[in-house]
C-alpha cells in the first residue's frame, strides 16, 4: 500500500483528494493535517464523508510516515512547508499550489501535465500539479502546438465558484454568485505563465500572444474553455491531428459533438472538441476544476509515479442531472 499524507486537508481540493484516496485500492491515508481543524473528524470539514472515513485531522504532519505527501495549503505556502521537512526526506511530493509550476521557481519539481510530460513525471520525485484553467487551456492547444500551428490565440473560459477556494469572499458567497456572471483578471490571469512555458516547450519558435478572458460562473464546479486561432488545416485534418495526439490518453477524449460541463463534472475526464469556422480553428475543452483540474490529476500523477495503472482509483462517473 502507498502511504499518503495530506497537508492543508480542510479545503476543497483536499476534500476531493480524500474522497478519491479512501476508495483507492493501493493507498492508505496516514495523516490529514489541518491546524484549524486539528482533533476533529474529517467530516466536520467535508460533510459528505460522514460514515465513510474515521480519520481525524492532525495538528502535525508526520511526513516521514508517508511515501507521498500532497500539499494542499494554498498558493505561496508550499515552499515554506517543504523547507520544514526532515532532512533527507525521500518520499514523493505532489504540490497542488502554484509555488513550483514555473521553471524559474521549480528546482527539481516537474511540471506534471500527463498529456504533455508523462515520461518526465514517471522518473520524478517532486511534482508541480498544473492549475485548473491551465489544464483545460493546454489540453485545448497541445496538439496544435506540437504541430507548429499556433498563431495568436484567443481564449474565453468560465469557471465554477469552487475554483476560488473554500474561504468565503465577496465574489464567492451565494447571494453574489447566484444568477450572476463577471469577468476577472482579463489578459493577466496567473495561469498564463505556465501555459506559455508548456506551449513554447512544444513549439519553441512560436511568438504569438495568449489573449485570455476568464469569467466567474454561477455554478459550483467545472471549467469550459473556448479557444480559437487562425489555422490552415481543414476540419477533417484538425480532428485527425487531435485524435492522433490523444489516442492513447486514458482521460482526455476528442468529442464528435459539442460537449457540455455535465459530461465531466465529478470525473477526471477532459473532453476536447476541435471545429473549423472559416479560417479559425475553434477548440472547446471541458473539465472538472476540482478533479482533472486539481485532485484527480494529482492522483493520476501519483499513479504514474508509483508505476500503477493510471486510471486506478479514478473510475469516477459524472452526475448527469
Known catalytic residues are 132
Mark residue 95 as left, alpha or beta (left: phi above 0; alpha: psi -120 to 50; beta: remaining). beta
Q: Where are the strands (E) in the chain, listed by range?
A: 2-7, 27-33, 68-71, 92-95, 109-111, 126-128, 153-159, 182-183, 210-216, 223-230, 252-254, 270-277, 280-287
Neighbours of 181 (CB within 10 A): 10
Sheet (strand 252-254) strand order? 182-183, 210-216, 153-159, 223-230, 280-287, 270-277, 252-254
Cβ within 8 Å of residue 303, ≥6 positions away: 309, 310, 311, 312, 313, 314
How many other CB atoms are found less than 10 A from the CB of residue 286?
26
Residue 108 CA to residue 126 CA, distance in Å, equals: 7
Phi and psi at residue 26, in whole multiples of 5°? -110, 10
CB neighbours (10 Å) of residue 253?
Answer: 19
- Three-state DSSP at 94 gives strand
Amino acid at each position: 500500500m502507498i502511504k499518503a499524507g495530506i497537508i492543508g486537508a480542510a479545503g476543497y481540493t483536499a476534500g476531493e483528494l480524500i474522497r478519491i484516496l479512501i476508495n483507492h485500492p493501493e493507498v492508505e491515508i496516514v495523516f490529514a493535517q489541518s491546524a484549524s481543524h486539528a482533533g476533529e473528524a474529517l467530516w466536520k470539514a467535508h460533510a459528505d464523508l460522514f460514515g465513510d472515513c474515521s480519520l481525524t485531522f492532525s495538528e502535525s504532519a508526520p511526513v516521514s510516515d508517508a511515501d507521498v505527501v500532497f500539499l494542499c495549503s494554498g498558493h505561496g505556502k508550499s515552499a515554506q512547508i517543504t523547507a520544514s521537512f526532515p532532512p533527507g526526506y525521500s518520499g514523493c511530493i505532489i504540490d497542488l499550489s502554484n509555488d513550483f509550476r514555473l521553471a524559474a521557481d521549480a528546482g527539481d519539481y516537474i511540471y506534471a501535465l500527463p498529456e504533455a510530460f508523462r515520461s518526465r513525471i514517471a522518473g520524478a520525485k517532486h511534482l508541480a500539479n498544473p492549475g485548473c484553467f491551465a489544464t483545460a487551456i493546454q489540453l485545448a492547444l497541445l496538439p496544435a502546438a506540437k504541430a507548429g500551428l499556433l498563431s495568436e490565440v484567443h481564449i474565453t473560459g468560465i469557471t465554477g465558484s469552487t475554483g476560488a477556494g473554500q474561504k468565503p469572499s465577496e465574489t464567492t458567497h451565494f447571494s453574489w454568485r447566484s444568477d450572476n456572471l463577471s469577468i476577472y483578471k482579463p489578459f493577466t490571469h496567473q495561469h498564463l505563465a505556465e501555459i506559455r512555458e508548456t506551449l513554447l516547450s512544444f513549439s519553441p519558435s512560436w511568438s504569438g500572444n495568449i489573449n485570455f478572458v476568464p469569467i466567474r460562473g454561477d455554478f459550483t464546479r467545472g471549467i469550459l474553455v473556448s479557444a480559437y486561432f487562425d489555422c490552415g488545416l481543414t476540419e477533417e485534418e484538425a480532428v485527425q491531428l487531435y485524435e492522433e495526439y490523444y489516442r492513447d490518453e486514458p482521460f482526455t477524449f476528442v468529442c464528435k459533438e459539442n460537449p457540455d460541463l455535465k459530461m465531466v463534472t465529478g470525473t477526471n475526464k477532459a473532453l476536447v472538441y476541435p471545429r473549423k469556422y472559416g479560417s479559425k480553428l475553434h477548440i472547446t475543452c471541458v473539465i472538472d476544476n476540482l478533479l482533472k483540474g486539481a485532485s484527480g490529476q494529482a492522483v493520476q500523477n501519483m499513479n504514474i509515479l508509483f508505476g500503477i495503472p493510471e486510471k486506478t482509483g479514478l473510475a469516477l462517473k459524472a452526475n448527469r442531472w
